[in-house]
């Protein structure tokens, strides 16, 4: 865990801002007052957390489904270990791929070590994207499977809670 | 469905949202609109459910421990098991997928030990095996989602 550069105020800030900004002229005012900071100090801290990589993106967070991107296919690949980084980086460049992760195999049940999420208006479009990828990038040689989502039982951003000890818990 | 302005705002501000004390005024300046119009547009997008929130997306791997878990659940038990999984605060995504491994969820906790303990508890309660698939490398590139 890389916690060394986060102080107690950062933790409280992360906790206070996790549900997003209010739609008012000075959206940091309330948080700043709570934390005993100025608005500018809040913004400066957020910029630092972004530079340090604790925040990977700051902006509008959309619901794909409500935008008409109703299908998402999780494609899992079995890629030789020495090639997986190159192929993972290549896949992450496609605009319709939102996540691309390397994960461990769990043999014999699970031989796949590369995961990417392909979004589309419907399943046919997602399958089409996958077919294009395989052709263009010469990926047909690798075993892959596509898993479509059916029911969404839960979807929300990661939650933080503050323990009494002031240690941050990422829940 | 979406107006040209809504589309432009969504495309421009998933990533280049101004990190300043007055972000909506800064957006208004860039878009040559009033701040009130920008706020009105954002409020409409929130009401429609297009925007879930405006703010930070945290790098889970740097903040604590997280993993993706897959379970093969008999169809007739799927809803019960999904409800059990949902009852944990540490779970933030939980989807049914069309595969022998048909239930997929994300667990985020403070430490790896917390995650191991939670997964052991789920295995004990459900008597179903699970695949623990933590992220090893994130090939994420900051492109934003085209709308």
If you average pLDDT over residues A129-149, what whole number do you get? 95
Residue of A nearest to B147 (CA): A67
pTM, two decimal places: 0.74
Residues B126 and B65 in one domain: yes
- Chains A, B: CB contacts within 8 A come to 246
What are the backbone angles phi and psi of residue B130, rounded to the nearest 5°?
Answer: -135, 155
Do residues B37 and B70 share a domain?
no
How confident is the model at residue B62, as a pLDDT? 76
pLDDT-based confidence at residue B95 (cuts at 50, 70, 90): very high
Domain for residue B140, yes or no? no
pLDDT computed for residue A2 by the predictor: 43
Q: What percent of chain B has pLDDT over 70?
A: 95
Q: Which residues of A touch B31 (CB under 8 A)?
A: none
Count of domains for chain B: 2
Q: Count of residues for chain A? A: 171
Task: Give the per-residue pLDDT at B144.
Answer: 58
What domains appear along chain A, each with residue ranges and CATH number?
A: 8-60 (1.10.10.2890), 65-148 (3.30.70.920)
Whole-angstrom Cα distance, residue A21 to residue A23? 7
From the list B113, B2, B54, the residue with the least C-alpha distance to A20 is B54
- Asked whether residue B71 falls in the same domain as residue B128, the answer is yes
Domain region containing B65: 60-133
pLDDT score, position B57: 87
Q: Is residue B12 part of a domain?
A: yes
Q: pLDDT at position A68, please?
A: 77
**Domain contains B83:** yes
Q: Residue B21 pLDDT > 50, yes or no?
A: yes
Looking at the domain assignment, is residue B107 inside a domain? yes
B18 shares its domain with B70: no
> Which of A31, A153, A161 is the best mutation test for B, with the most CBs of B within 10 A?
A153
**Are residues B68 and B92 located together in one domain of the fold?**
yes
The pLDDT of B46-55, averaged and rounded, is 92
Does residue B27 sit in the same domain as residue B65? no
Q: What is the mean pLDDT of residues B30-55?
A: 95
**Rg of chain A over all Cα atoms, to the nearest angstrom:** 20
Residue A26 reports pLDDT greater than 60: yes
> Residue B93 — very low, low, confident or very high, per pLDDT cuts 50/70/90?
confident
Please identify among residues 138-157 of chain A the ones whose CB lies closer than 8 Å to any CB of chain B. Answer: 145, 147-157
Res B132: pLDDT: 97
| In a shared domain, residues B40 and B68 | no
Sequence-separated (6 or more) residues with CB below 8 Å from residue A134: A140, A144
Better pLDDT: A56 or B79 = B79
- Rounded to an integer, the average pLDDT of B29-33 is 97
Same domain, B8 and B32: yes
Question: ipTM, 2 decimals?
Answer: 0.74
Q: Are A154 and B91 in contact (CB under 8 A)?
A: yes
- Which residues 82-141 of A have a C-beta within 8 angstroms of B? 85, 88-89, 91-93, 95-96, 98-104, 106, 109-110, 115, 119
Chain A hits for B2, Cβ within 8 Å: 67
In a domain, B103, yes or no: yes
- pLDDT classification of A169: cutoffs 50, 70, 90: very low
Establish if B76 belongs to a structural domain. yes
Question: Which of A56, A68, A101 comes nearest B59 by C-beta?
Answer: A56
pLDDT of residue B59: 79
H or E element that contains B25: helix B23-31
Residue in chain A lying closest to B19 (CA): A43
Interchain CB distance below 8 Å, A53 and B62: yes
């Amino acid at each position: 865990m890389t916690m060394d550069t986060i102080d107690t105020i950062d933790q409280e800030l992360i906790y206070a801002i996790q549900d997003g900004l209010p739609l008012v002229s000075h959206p940091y005012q309330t948080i700043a007052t709570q934390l005993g900071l100025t608005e500018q100090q809040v913004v400066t801290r957020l910029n630092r957390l972004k530079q340090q990589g604790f925040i990977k993106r700051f902006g509008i967070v959309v619901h794909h489904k409500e935008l008409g991107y109703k299908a998402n296919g999780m494609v899992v690949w079995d890629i030789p270990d020495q090639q997986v980084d190159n192929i993972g980086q290549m896949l992450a460049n496609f605009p319709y791929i939102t996540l691309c992760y390397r994960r461990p195999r769990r043999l014999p049940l699970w031989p796949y070590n590369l995961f990417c999420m392909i979004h589309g208006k419907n399943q046919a479009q997602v399958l089409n994207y996958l077919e294009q990828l395989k052709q263009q990038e010469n990926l047909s040689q690798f075993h892959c499977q596509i898993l479509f989502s059916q029911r969404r039982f839960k979807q929300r951003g990661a939650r933080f809670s503050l323990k009494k000890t002031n240690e941050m818990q990422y829940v | 469905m979406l107006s040209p302005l809504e589309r432009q705002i969504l495309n421009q501000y998933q990533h280049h949202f101004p990190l300043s004390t007055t972000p909506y005024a800064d957006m208004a300046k860039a878009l040559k609109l009033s701040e009130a119009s920008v706020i009105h547009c954002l409020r409409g997008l929130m009401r429609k459910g297009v925007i879930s929130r405006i703010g930070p997306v945290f790098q889970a791997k740097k903040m604590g421990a997280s993993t993706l878990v897959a379970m093969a659940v008999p169809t007739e038990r799927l809803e019960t098991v999904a409800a059990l999984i949902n009852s944990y605060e540490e779970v933030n995504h939980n989807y049914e997928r069309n595969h022998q491994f048909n239930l997929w969820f994300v667990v985020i906790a403070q430490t790896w030990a917390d995650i191991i303990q939670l997964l052991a508890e789920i295995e004990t309660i459900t008597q179903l095996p699970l695949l623990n698939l933590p992220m090893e490398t994130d090939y994420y590139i900051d492109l934003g989602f085209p709308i």
